Amino acid sequence: MKPLLCVLFCLLITFKHVFLNKVNNSCECGVGDVGINRRIVGGTTVQPHQYPWLVALMLGSKLHCGAAIITDLHLLTAGHCITFGVHYKDLSAYIGMHDRLGSSHSVYRIANGVKHPNFTSNAVRDINDIAVLTLEKKLKFSDKVRPICLPSTDMDLRNLALRVAGWGKTRQGALTSSRYLLETKVKLVPTATCSKSNIYRENLVADTMMCAYSLGKDACQGDSGGPIFATHSRTHDEKWYQIGIVSWGIDCAMPDYPECGKPSDDIVSMRIVGGRRAEPHSFPWTVAITKNNIMHCGGALITDRHVLSAGHCFKWDKLNNLVVKIGLDRVNDQTNVETRSVSHSVIHERFHSTPVRDENDIAIATLDHPVRFNKYITPICLPQSGEDFGGRIGTIVGWGRMAVDKAPSKFLMKASLPILTDEECLRSKLRKHLEPTMLCTYSKGKDGCQGDSGGPLVVFQPDGRYVVVGVVSWGIGCADNRYPGIHTKVSFFIDWIKKHSASGNTCSS
């Protein structure tokens, strides 16, 4: 999810428009253990199955988002949980879970996912951030699996004691999520107070969002899409109602937000064109190649001493002017960053450049000495030779320009782009310049730009791993809606890549 500080939640006024008439009435909703008052960041574990509507949405073995059961077939989550490179088919729903390492929960596949038709996103916020997921088969309700109640539009939701629960990270910057289900209490913050902060004043949509906050307590990465819930006097505080959905914010449980303080301009001006800031070190194979201390190209670590990049990144430059930075997130923060020189580079022997395009635009750079893999530095997997990714969603990452006339980003940025089939690619305005070794991506307003060249286009596979499917190569302008972005098709060059990186070590597959 986006970095959190003061969490914002979508008000559930949209519920009446989203499957409300399909709620299963075979058992009472919202019945949990109301009497236990245990207190994610600043939270504590809950009793097992105390909140039997809570669901963990898993992306392979990684916690991706939270959700809540609302019928025996439907889950409620955030729209951004099935956006930005993640399709609902990539997710599994862990139902009836408390301990992530336990075995008592059930795993369900997702048969369908519907975002709100007016869902939109920019580099900071998500609007109408709500989605309904349909399970592949119906749930059997029990003491451990039960739906939460949905509020009616005439309920007074002010002055409620709110809870938020999930398995997300327990602090900003943590690399792993909580083993056990955690909860914490938060309180509503008046819209006028929330709007005092520049970032919230400019991005808060009062009709569909609300601020919730408590110093030192917050939701964090991995809690996105999870419910914020409360009991209500209408049912004598004996039932739980879902009041909101964890949506967006800045950092996790930092002080003085949203009441006061101005976030750094570095945060609010983040825009790879049309993209958003990547969670720090979430793409630990991505490297920055600088030239005389200026961002030059991107690349992807494929072994402990080899970087996959574009041929044009090395064709016209002296290697002694290039420096590779591995483990980088924020350009001006070198913590945990490894710096290497390039001892040798191999550009594909059929590389050819014209004023419009680069052909066979691929290169392998050899580092002057190997890196050691850790939680910040990990190699990317290669696809199978000839593997086709048309119709999939890819993610590009890099520190390149945020527009044709803008400066490079100070943070690693990401953008999700549909990968066109070869047939769709050949129907574009660039068809006269395309070759079978090229791959097209297109999304209105999103693209790689100068400085992103050579960076990876990755796809998340069902086995829980990312593979690099493309190398950012060329295009017309940046995010020009008339033209797709062009990438070197990695699956076409697998034998060549393995030949020139054979001396390196990588993680076992």
CATH of the domain at 486: 2.40.10.10
216 and 331 co-located in one domain: no
Report how far residue 165's alpha carbon sits from residue 494's, in angstroms, rounded to the nearest whole number: 44
Domain of residue 370, residue span: 276-500
Q: How confident is the model at residue 91 (pLDDT cuts 50, 70, 90)?
A: very high
Q: Within 10 Å of residue 120's Cβ, how many Cβ atoms?
A: 11
Same domain, 134 and 230: yes
pLDDT tens for 412-446 read 888 778 888 888 888 877 777 788 899 988 766 54
- Residue 356 domain flag: yes
Q: Which of 129, 46, 42, 59 is nearest to 93 (CA)?
A: 59
373-396 residue pLDDT tens: 888 888 999 999 999 999 888 888
Q: How many Å apart are CA 100 and CA 181, to the nearest integer? A: 8
pLDDT in tens, 446-472: 444 444 789 999 988 877 788 999 999
> Using omega within 30 degrees of 0 as the cis cutoff, is the peptide bond preceding 258 cis?
yes
Between 161 and 380, the higher pLDDT residue: 380
> What integer pLDDT is reported at residue 478 of this predicted model?
53
- The verdict on residue 505 lying in a domain is no
Same domain, 281 and 223: no
E strands present in 60-155: 62-69, 74-77, 91-95, 106-115, 120-121, 126-127, 131-135
Question: Does 11 reside within a domain?
Answer: yes
Lowest mean pLDDT among 131-140, 283-292, 374-383, 473-482: 473-482
73 found inside a domain: yes
Residue 298 has φ and ψ, to the nearest 5°, of: -110, 175
Residues with catalytic function: 312, 361, 453
Lowest-confidence range among 11-15, 64-68, 275-279, 368-372?
A: 11-15
Q: Domain boundary residue among 267, 296, 323?
A: 267
Angle at 382 between CA 441 and CA 93, to 5 degrees: 75
Residues 441 and 320 in one domain: yes
- Are residue 195 and residue 334 in the same domain, yes or no? no
Q: Report d(CA 360, CA 380) in Å as an integer.
A: 21
Is 506 within the bounds of a domain?
no
Domain end residue (candidates: 232, 267, 302):
267
pLDDT single digits (tens) 186-201: 777 777 777 766 556 6
At residue 122, the pLDDT reads: 65
Mean pLDDT over each residue of the chain, to the nearest integer: 76
Instruction: Specify whether 146 is located in the same domain as 108.
Output: yes
In this structure, the answer to whether residues 300 and 263 fall within a common structural domain is no
Give the residue-averaged pLDDT of 332-348. Answer: 91
Q: What's the confidence (pLDDT) of residue 307?
A: 96
Pairing state between β 182-189 and 209-213: antiparallel
Q: Are 279 and 3 in contact (CB under 8 A)?
A: yes
Statement to judge: residues 289 and 391 lie in one domain:
yes
Same domain? For 259 and 288 the reply is no
| Residue-wise pLDDT tens digits, 284-329 | 899 999 988 888 899 999 999 999 999 999 988 889 889 999 999 8
Same domain, 15 and 42: yes
210, 11 Cβ separation under 8 angstroms: yes
Paired tokens of 373: 């893999």
Asked whether residue 429 is assigned to any structural domain, the reply reads yes
| Residue 364 and residue 482 share a domain | yes
Q: Which of 226, 249, 267 is the last residue of a domain?
A: 267
CB of 215 within 8 A of CB of 252? no
| pLDDT band at 158; cut points 50, 70, 90 | confident
| 222 and 309 belong to one structural domain | no
- How many separate domains does the chain show? 2
375 within some domain = yes
Q: Is residue 297 part of a domain?
A: yes
